[in-house]
Structure 1
Amino acid sequence: MKKEDAEILAEKGFFEDKKLDGKLVETHISWVILSGEFAFKIKKPLKLSFLDFSTLALRKKFCYRELELNSRFSDIYCGVFPIEKKGDKWRIGENGGETVDFAVQMKLMDNELRMDELLSRNKVRGDQIVSLAKQVARFHQEAPVISDRFELKEAKALFNDIGNACAAVKKLMGTHRVNAVKEAIAWSDSFLSAHQTEFQRRVEQGFVRDVHGDLHSGNVFLTDPPVVFDCIEFNDKIRQIDVLYEVAFMCMDLEAFGKKDLSDLFLTTYQSATPDYYTPKDAMIFLYFKCLRANVRAKVTMLALEQAEDSKDKEELMSRIDKYLELMVNYRKND
């Protein structure tokens, strides 16, 4: 599908016997149609360094994979449906037309309860953080252990990939930001080489598991209990990670919102529930993981900046990049 097709589907298409008459929301890898009680997520036909949605067969495969993996967290994922076109008529579901794509059906949640929205309005309570941390801890305890060895070369490449994104938007970035990225890359290479035995120790202790992979505030609804959604389905390596790397994402995200107190509360609650997963000797590893998470968010924002056309959007994206780069510098200072 193309964006124009998704727009027509959202406005004029049908699901079952009802006209969608929906709102189309776009992310960097998906289109989401919000209609009535449901949201329908459609994967863009993309091929990037970390995912491949380039064919209809692959998009179908990963729609079903998304349903399977996210059902571990909540019951908001309902099913997968073909998107069919018959003449000029569009429909989600079978109707004897040509299957042009697939959509994941989800229950539509109240966007005002999404954690990042609540954080932006200073509406997140400590008891909600405690409930979320306990839920994440329980899931981590039950998640399958992954026994792949720690690969130093892969770990360096993961951090250093920010350099590619930085180069793509160098004219917009400014020299000081480019230099900050270069310094962070040099620090990461040194840290990983010096601590590779510690990373491998955590693998051997069973702390690398098949978890969520993208646990930040934009992927949580603070209902009672919290609803965690939108885990990584398109790349097992991004999802099968050290549990502390997962926790680090939420803590870094909270700190990016200026909520260090909530970050500390999340970590201490998680530690209380899983005392073996984070001991004092893991403190530097956890700090590195937070730096890496800030790195990844900065990189994703750089990619968005490269595509942005509106000057206001560019200003907002640059502000977010600066925030993540500042966090990277602060985490390194504590090394």
Structure 2
Amino acid sequence: MNEDEIASLTKNGIYRGEPLNGELEETHISWVILTKEHVFKLKKPVKLSFLDFSTLNLRNKYCEREVMLNSRFTDIYEAVVPVYHYDDLWYLAEGNGKIVDYAVQMKRLATARRMDNMLRQNKVRTGDVSILAHQVAAFHKNADKIYRPFELSTARALFNDIGNCINLVEKEIGPAGAETIEQSIKWSDNFLNHHAGRFQDRIDTGLVRDVHGDLHSGNVFIYKKPVIFDCIEFNDQYRQIDVLYEVAFMCMDLEAFHHPQLAEVFLKSYSNNFPCFEVNEDEAIFRYFKCLRANVRAKVQALSIGQSHKEREVRGHIRKVEKYINLMKGYMRQ
């Protein structure tokens, strides 16, 4: 589907005999339609270096995987539903004519309870973060262990891919931002070379597991029992990671929201339930993982600049790229 078709589906698509009359949110790989009771998530027909949603069959496959994998965390995922186009109308879940796409159907939760929105309003409490950390640790304890060998070249490529954004960063942020990226690539190469043995040791001791892969505040709702959702389904290697890399994402995100004390609470509560710092070297690896997470977020925001059509959205993405680059600089200095 294209953007015009998605806009039509969002407002006029028929579900259970009634128009959706929904609101559309967008990421660089998905369209998300919000209705009163449900959320419908469609995958954009894109093919990138790390995912392939380019065909109808692939989008159906990854919708099914999204429901299956996220059901490990929550019951808000309800079904994969087909999208039909018939007689100039769009239908979800039932209809005649040709299936043109598939959507993941979820229960809608209160947007105000999403953790990132609550952080912006200083409404997240230490108790909320502690409960979330306990929940994550409990899941990690029972997650499948992955014994894939550490590949230095793959690790280097993951970090260094941000080099493709240097020209954009120099244009939108300035030479200092571009210089930080260049310095970070050299820093990362040296770090990985020096600590490659410890990365392998952590794999050998079972600390690489099949977890969430994208654990940040935008993928958590804060209720009495937190709701974790939207894990990575499109690339197993992005989800089968060192547990410290998962924890580092949430801690980096909390620090990006200027809540370092909540990051400390999360890390302490998690570690009390699932100790994952085995030797002193792991402290340095944890900081590296936070830098890598900031790196990836900067890259995602940079990609979003080219997909945004409104000046306000473009400016927002530029500010976030700058924020994450500054976080990278801070982690490197540590």
Compute the displacement of 1:166 (Å). Answer: 2.6
Q: Deviations over 1:145-179 (max 9, x none)?
A: 11100000000000000011233554223111111
Offset of residue 278 of structure 1: 5.0
Give the secondary structure class of the aligned counterpart of 1:161: helix
Could you state the TM-score of these two structures normalised by the residue count of structure 1? 0.97
8 Å contact kept, 2:216–2:249: yes
Match of 1:102 in 2: 102
Q: Deviations over 1:175-205 (max 9, x none)?
A: 1111110000000000000000000000000
Write the letter of the residue equivalent to 1:177.
Answer: G
Name which of structure 1's ranges 195-204 and 277-286 shifts more when overlaid on structure 2: 277-286
Change beyond 3 A, Cα 1:249–1:100: same
Write the distance in 1 (CA, Å) between the matches of 2:37 and 2:263. Answer: 33
Match of 2:313 in 1: 313
Secondary structure in 2 matching 1:106:
strand
1:63 and 2:63 matched: yes
Distance 1:193 1:37, change over 3 A: same
* Paired residues of 1:80 and 1:102 also in contact (CA < 8 A): yes
2:218 is aligned with 1:218: yes
For residue 326 of structure 1, what is the amino acid of its counterpart? Answer: N
Q: 1:151: which partner in 2? A: 151
Q: Does 1:332 align with 2:332?
A: yes
Instruction: State whether structure 2 residue 45 is matched by structure 1 residue 39.
Output: no
2:72 equivalent in structure 1: 72
Q: Distance in 2 between the 1:279 and 1:74 partners?
A: 33
Give 1:217 deviation, angstroms. Answer: 0.3
The alignment's TM-score, normalised by the length of structure 2, stands at: 0.97
Letter in 2 for 1:198: R
SS at match of 2:302: helix
**Paired residue type of 1:83:** V
Question: Amino acid of the residue matched to residue 165 of structure 2?
Answer: A
Paired position in structure 1 for 2:12: 12
2:107 maps to amino acid: K
Q: Which amino acid is 2:114 matched to?
A: R
For 1:132, the equivalent position in structure 2 comes to 132
Q: Kindly tell me: are residues 173 and 330 of structure 1, through their superposed partners in 2, closer, same or farther at Cα, counting changes over 3 Å?
A: same
CA distance change for structure 1 residues 123 and 279 in 2, over 3 Å: closer, same or farther? farther
| Equivalent residue number for residue 166 of structure 2 | 166
Q: How far apart in 1 are the matches of 2:45 and 2:188?
A: 33
Match of 2:297 in 1: 297
Contact 2:156 2:192 in 1 (8 A): yes
Identity of aligned residues (%): 51
Q: Which runs of 4+ in 1 moved over 4 A?
A: 276-279
C-alpha contact (below 8 Å) 1:10/1:23 kept by paired residues: yes
What stretches of structure 1 of length at least 5 have no aligned partner? none
Q: Structure 2: which 5+ residue stretches go unaligned?
A: none
**Aligned partners of 1:34, 1:120: CA distance in 2, in Å?**
21
Q: Is the 8 A contact 2:13 2:90 kept in 1?
A: yes
Q: Which residue of 1 aligns with 2:87?
A: 87
Q: Is the 8 Å Cα contact of residues 244 and 278 (structure 1) preserved in structure 2?
A: no
Deviates more, 1:243-252 or 1:7-16: 7-16
Shift of 1:3: 1.3
Listed as ranges, the matches of 1:227-306 within 5 Å are 227-276=227-276, 279-306=279-306
Cα RMSD for the two superposed structures: 1.3
Alignment of 1:187-226 (within 5 A): 187-226=187-226
- Give the secondary-structure state (helix, strand or coil) at the position aligned to 2:124: coil
Please say if residues 56 and 101 of structure 2, whose CA atoms lie closer than 8 Å, have aligned partners that are also in contact.
yes
| Count of matched residue pairs | 334
Deviation at 1:49, TM superposition (A): 0.9
What CA distance in whole angstroms lies between the structure 2 residues aligned with 1:318 and 1:26?
Answer: 17
Q: 1:311/1:4 Cα in 2 relative to 1: closer, same or farther (>3 Å)?
A: closer
Q: Deviations over 1:210-234 (max 9, x none)?
A: 1000000000000110000000000
With over 3 angstroms needed to count, the CA separation of the structure-2 counterparts of 1:209 and 1:258, relative to structure 1, is same
Q: Distance in 2 between matches of 1:31 and 1:314?
A: 18
Counterparts of 2:279 and 2:271 in 1: how far apart (Å)? Answer: 8
Determine helix, strand or coil for the equivalent of 1:267.
helix
Q: 1:113 — aligned with what? A: 113
